Structure formats: structure tokens, C-alpha cells
């Protein structure tokens, strides 16, 4: 089983215990807060969010996966009229919206395929891809997305 971590965090700022040592935003709720003397804006957030969505779409395309299912769904926002439930199938049309809800911490779930491929989302804007095989071609395709970093790391959400 292969697992990679895809994040906005540059590995050069990690210590020997894999702790990220630079002060950066870690969630949607950090918008309009100051990090390293700079105001974190909605526009900056949306640019990074779009890169995460692009990474998922890139991997799905490389692995020829058309649908994902929701597993271990947790809903955190009563304000949204969510029509999601455990086991729902998510095609490419709904993927953007589901990912935005996850990344903005309105919901949490794993996205899984029937071909043993999973996407796990962690605290502090971490994302993991787990599969029986993640080829170098897939890794290189994600690395081409400017501002994202790919590291071989086991997902903490593997059962």
C-alpha cells in the first residue's frame, strides 16, 4: 500500500520530527488573520483551495477513476442544506463542491473508490492519497502544480 501527503507546506520548514516550524494559515477560519506580517485574504485562500482540487482531479485522471464514494461522513455545519449521506457516489460534477465543504471544515469524510484508492483529509490543511500503488508518474503530475508539495507519508487515517 502506498500513501503520499500533499500539502501547501514546504518540507524545508520541517524539523527532524516532521513538525512544520513556520507560522502559516491552516484553515478557512484563518482568513483575515495576519501571518508573517501579511493579512491572509479570501482570494489567497481560494487560490490554494483550487490547487488542492486540481491535485485530486489530476490523480483521478492519472488513475482513470471516475467516481468516489463518501465514507465516514461527519457534518459540522447545521447552516448548510447538505444532501450528502454515507456511501453517496461523487462524480466529477460534485467533486468540487464536496472538496470545498471538506477543506472549509463544514464536513469531514474520506473519498474512496472501488479500486482501493482513498483520499483522506487531515487537520491543518493536510491531504493524503492512499492506494495499492501510486506511480512516479502520478506523483510527478501533482508536483507540477505550483505551490503544492508531495511527500511519501502514511496517512494517519488508515484503518
Q: How many domains does the chain have?
A: 1
Per-residue pLDDT of the chain (159 residues; tens, 9 = 90+): 899 999 999 999 999 999 999 999 999 999 999 999 999 999 999 999 999 999 999 999 999 999 999 999 999 877 766 788 899 999 877 899 999 999 999 999 999 998 899 999 999 999 999 999 999 999 999 999 999 999 999 999 997
What is the structure's pLDDT at 89?
93
Q: Is 30 within the bounds of a domain?
A: yes
Q: Is 136 within the bounds of a domain?
A: yes
What is the structure's pLDDT at 2?
92
For residues 9-46, one letter each, b for 16 or more C-beta atoms within 10 angstroms of the residue's C-beta and e for the rest, the string is: beeeeeeeeeebeeeebeebeeeeeeeeeeebeeeebe
Q: Is 109 within the bounds of a domain?
A: yes
Q: Is 159 within the bounds of a domain?
A: no
The answer to whether 21 touches 15, Cβ cutoff 8 Å, is yes
Q: Is 158 within the bounds of a domain?
A: no
Q: Is 113 within the bounds of a domain?
A: yes
SS3 content of the chain, % helix, strand, coil (to 5): 30, 30, 40
What is the structure's pLDDT at 149?
97
Q: Is 35 within the bounds of a domain?
A: yes
- Domain of 99 in residue numbering reads as 2-152
Amino acid at each position: 500500500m502506498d500513501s503520499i501527503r500533499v500539502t501547501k507546506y514546504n518540507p524545508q520548514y520541517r524539523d527532524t520530527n516532521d513538525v512544520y516550524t513556520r507560522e502559516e494559515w491552516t484553515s478557512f477560519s484563518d482568513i483575515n488573520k495576519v501571518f508573517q506580517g501579511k493579512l491572509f485574504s479570501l482570494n489567497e485562500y481560494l487560490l490554494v483551495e483550487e490547487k488542492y482540487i486540481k491535485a485530486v482531479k489530476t490523480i483521478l485522471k492519472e488513475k482513470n477513476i471516475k467516481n468516489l464514494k463518501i465514507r465516514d461522513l461527519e457534518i459540522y455545519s447545521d447552516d448548510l442544506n447538505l444532501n450528502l449521506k454515507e456511501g453517496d457516489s461523487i462524480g466529477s460534477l460534485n467533486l468540487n463542491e464536496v472538496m470545498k465543504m471538506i477543506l472549509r471544515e463544514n464536513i469531514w469524510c474520506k473519498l474512496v473508490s472501488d479500486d482501493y484508492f482513498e483520499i483522506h483529509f487531515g487537520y491543518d490543511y493536510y491531504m493524503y492519497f492512499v492506494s495499492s500503488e501510486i506511480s512516479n508518474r502520478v506523483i510527478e503530475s501533482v508536483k507540477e502544480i505550483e505551490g503544492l508539495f508531495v511527500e511519501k507519508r502514511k496517512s494517519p487515517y488508515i484503518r
